[in-house]
């Protein structure tokens, strides 16, 4: 029973990632693409969690935390680049 | 007891998958960047938190394995995903992405010129 639920959920999340991929390809502005990529990263976390239940191993649970941190850092860097034009600023008196 | 907790975990996982699909429909169908961000950053966050809670319950009950990293991931996602949504929405507004043409209120309009003049 739980396995059927897991497979249905994996299917739903894969379809969700396909829809987000459509937004990444089409999105009119850069911010649309960054939002869609951030949501794709979050869905990827869900896929890793579901697959680790399906394979019945807890060896992949560190990947969840890692992908979460990387998605957050990537989104912050992209939004800073869109807003200010550079990610790490050098001048002191701005 | 174990069967009940497995049913609860399955319900949480199904709910999370449903919320992810809802977030994707919002991201596809809503008209401008800000409404899309509203859909993506709330709904996907709650969906993934619920899926991770189901995963945690499954490993705790089925294997007796209290995995604290999943709890940490839930807390981390809950703390950072709205912040990321706020940052990208702010960057979109400041880089001049237009609102939906039928939106009626823009409270931030003109505030940027005032801030630039104060500098």
Per-residue model confidence as pLDDT tens digits over B29-82? 998 899 999 999 999 999 999 999 999 999 998 888 888 999 999 999 999 999
pLDDT of residue B95: 84
- Provide the ipTM: 0.88
Please tell me which residue, B108 or B80, carries the higher pLDDT value.
B80
Q: Give me the helices (H) in B64-110, please.
A: 68-94
Give residue-wise pLDDT tens across range A52-91: 999 988 889 899 999 999 999 999 999 999 888 888 888 7
Q: Compute how many other C-beta atoms are within 10 angstroms of the C-beta atom of residue A8.
A: 14
pLDDT of residue B94: 86
| B51 CA to centre of own chain | 13
**pLDDT confidence tier of residue A9, bands split at 50, 70 and 90:** very high
Q: A58–B67: do the CB atoms touch at under 8 Å?
A: yes
Q: B17–A12: do the CB atoms touch at under 8 Å?
A: yes
Q: Is residue B84 a contact partner of residue B28, using CB atoms and an 8 Å limit?
A: no
SS3 B98: coil
Q: Compute how many other C-beta atoms are within 10 angstroms of the C-beta atom of residue A48.
A: 20
pLDDT of residue A94: 58
Q: What is the DSSP letter of B81?
A: H
Any idea how long chain A is? 94
pLDDT of residue B118: 65
Chain B hits for A16, CB-CB cut-off 8 Å, are: 17, 20-21, 23-24
Dig out the tokens for A72 from the structure.
């957050």
What ranges do the domains of chain B cover? Answer: 2-118
Question: How many angstroms separate the Cα of B11 from the Cα of each of B40, B45, B51, B93?
Answer: 22, 17, 9, 38
pTM above 0.90?
no
Q: What are the backbone angles phi and psi of residue B66, rounded to the nearest 5°?
A: -80, 100
Rounded Cα distance between B44 and B46, Å, is 6
Q: What is the DSSP letter of B44?
A: H
Chain B hits for A45, CB-CB cut-off 8 Å, are: 48, 52, 73, 77
pLDDT of residue A87: 80
Q: B44–A39: do the CB atoms touch at under 8 Å?
A: yes
Give residue-wise pLDDT tens across range B83-100: 999 999 999 888 877 788
């Amino acid at each position: 029973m739980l396995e059927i639920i897991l497979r249905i959920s994996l299917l739903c999340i894969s379809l969700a990632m396909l829809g987000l991929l459509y937004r990444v390809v089409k999105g009119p502005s850069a911010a649309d693409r960054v939002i869609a990529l951030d949501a794709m990263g979050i869905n990827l976390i869900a896929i890793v969690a579901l697959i680790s239940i399906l394979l019945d191993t807890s060896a992949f649970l560190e990947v969840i935390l890692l992908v979460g941190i990387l998605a957050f850092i990537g989104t912050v860097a992209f939004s800073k680049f869109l807003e200010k034009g550079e990610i790490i600023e050098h001048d002191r008196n701005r | 007891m174990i069967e009940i907790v497995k049913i609860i975990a399955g319900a949480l996982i199904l709910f999370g998958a449903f919320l992810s699909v809802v977030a994707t429909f919002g991201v596809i169908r809503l008209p401008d960047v800000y409404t899309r961000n509203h859909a993506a950053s709330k709904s996907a966050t709650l969906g993934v938190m619920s899926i991770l809670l189901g995963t945690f319950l499954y490993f705790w009950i089925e294997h007796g394995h209290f995995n604290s990293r999943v709890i940490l991931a839930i807390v981390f996602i809950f703390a950072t995903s709205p912040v990321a949504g706020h940052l990208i929405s702010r960057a979109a507004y400041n880089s001049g992405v237009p609102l939906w043409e039928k939106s009626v209120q823009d409270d931030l309009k003109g505030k940027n010129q005032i801030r630039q003049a104060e500098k």
